[in-house]
Amino acid sequence: MSSIRSVPTLDDVAKSAGVSTATVSRCLNSPGQVVESTRLRVMRAVEELGYTPNFGARVMAAKRTFTVGAIIPTMENAIFARGLQAFQEELHSRNYTLLVASSAYRPEIEEEQIRALVARGADGLLLIGHDRDPSLREYLRRQNVPALVAWTVSADTPQPSVGFDNRAAMRAMTDEVLKLGHKRVGVISAISTGNDRVRQRIEGIRDAMQANGFDPDTLAITETAYGIENGAEAFDLLMRAEPRPTVLICGNDVLAVGALRRARERGLDVPGDVSITGFDDMELARIVTPALTTVGVPHREMGRIAARELIDMIENDSPGSTVELKTVLKMRESLSVPKP
């Protein structure tokens, strides 16, 4: 037995069971190769000593961890929650463990987290969005760690991704808005720097403007950080314009809800005085009054498919494929025809 009160090792188990370390290792990793009686004896020793494998050692020797990492921009609210949960469930059913880290929407932190997760032996990574220093892709390639991008798809990057077309989705929403007769459109967007999804959504709005005979450059866009309060402030800012917008298209539900609240605080009726639309269809959207018209995203499906794709990349050394999911307009109460 090794020193008192220290964590038992494979060696301790081997000694205690009277076999070699190889046999113990085999009991744990490929029990089929060990004869029943030996295995029982070994397992008993494992029990008795309360042995747990040392992960570092295992990684070093085997080079597989059955761990995948996900780095999401934020845990502060639920945008990524549902998708991530589904991702985790699928992984779990395939015997992988998910480790999550958050980047707080900051590229340096994301880079740190990527390296941290890779260093800890993640077999694969789930990343959100394409915007990212190219050196990171190179790094992952060299480390031989496959990465899958989610929450967006994009034809013009080589990286596999599973998600939806942010641009087309937002264009569809804006088409709807313009079709109702809105002429003065305000946009409350998240910060576009370093965030391709945000930029694509804005492009989608512009596409629709153009297609409907408006000059996209007349759009009043305000960018602000993620947060209900920020949505509220942006609301005030945009509604100061003369004449004021009849509709506020928001880049996500959180901003939209902030705008909604501020409208109420200002005594403005939604959608009577001003229409408001969101994006993501978080649970929030159905709870507020009036219920938010928004873009529905297949979070759970995305998570599940992402897990499968990533595991495929890991296990079969596959380059991974890109799968595009459909979004759907959720017409609820916060959007209507503009006041005449």
Q: Which residues of the shown chain bind its own copies in the complex (CB under 8 A)?
A: 5, 7, 50, 52-60, 65, 67, 74-78, 81-82, 84-85, 88-89, 92, 97-102, 104, 109, 112-113, 115-116, 118-121, 138-139, 142-144, 228, 257, 260-261, 264, 283-284, 286-289
CB distance 27 to 34 below 8 Å: yes
Closest to 105 (Cα-Cα) out of 196, 14, 241, 208? 196
Q: Which is nearer to its own copies, 27 or 78 (CB)?
A: 78
The secondary element (H helix, E strand) that includes residue 67 is strand 67-72
Q: Which is nearer to its own copies, 120 or 244 (CB)?
A: 120
Q: Does 25 bind DNA (CB under 7 A)?
A: yes
Q: Which is nearer to DNA, 62 or 287 (CB)?
A: 62
94 binds, among its own copies, DNA, none (CB under 5 to 8 A by kind): none
78 binds, among DNA, its own copies, none (CB under 5 to 8 A by kind): its own copies
For residue 271, how many other CB atoms are within 10 A of its CB?
A: 22
Spell out a b/e string for 142-159, using b for 16 or more CB atoms within 10 Å of the CB, else e. Answer: eeebbbbbbbbbbeeeeb
Q: Which is nearer to DNA, 15 or 82 (CB)?
A: 15
Among 35, 134, 213, 317, binds DNA (CB under 7 A): 35
Distance CA 141, CA 153 (A): 20
CB distance 271 to 242 below 8 Å: no
For residue 296, give every residue at least 6 positions away whose Cβ sits within 8 Å of its Cβ, in sequence order, or none: 281, 327, 328, 329, 330
Distance CA 151, CA 310 (A): 14
142 binds, among DNA, its own copies, none (CB under 5 to 8 A by kind): its own copies
Q: List the interface residues with DNA, window 52-71 (CB under 7 A).
A: 53-54, 57-58, 60-62
Using alpha carbons, list the distances in angstroms from residue 307 to 31, 150, 230.
Answer: 28, 10, 33
Give least dist CB 117 to its own copies, A: 8
Beta partners for 177? none
Among 22, 225, 287, 337, binds DNA (CB under 7 A): 22
Binding site for DNA (CB under 7 A): 7, 9-11, 18-23, 25-26, 28-29, 33-35, 37-38, 51, 53-54, 57-58, 60-62
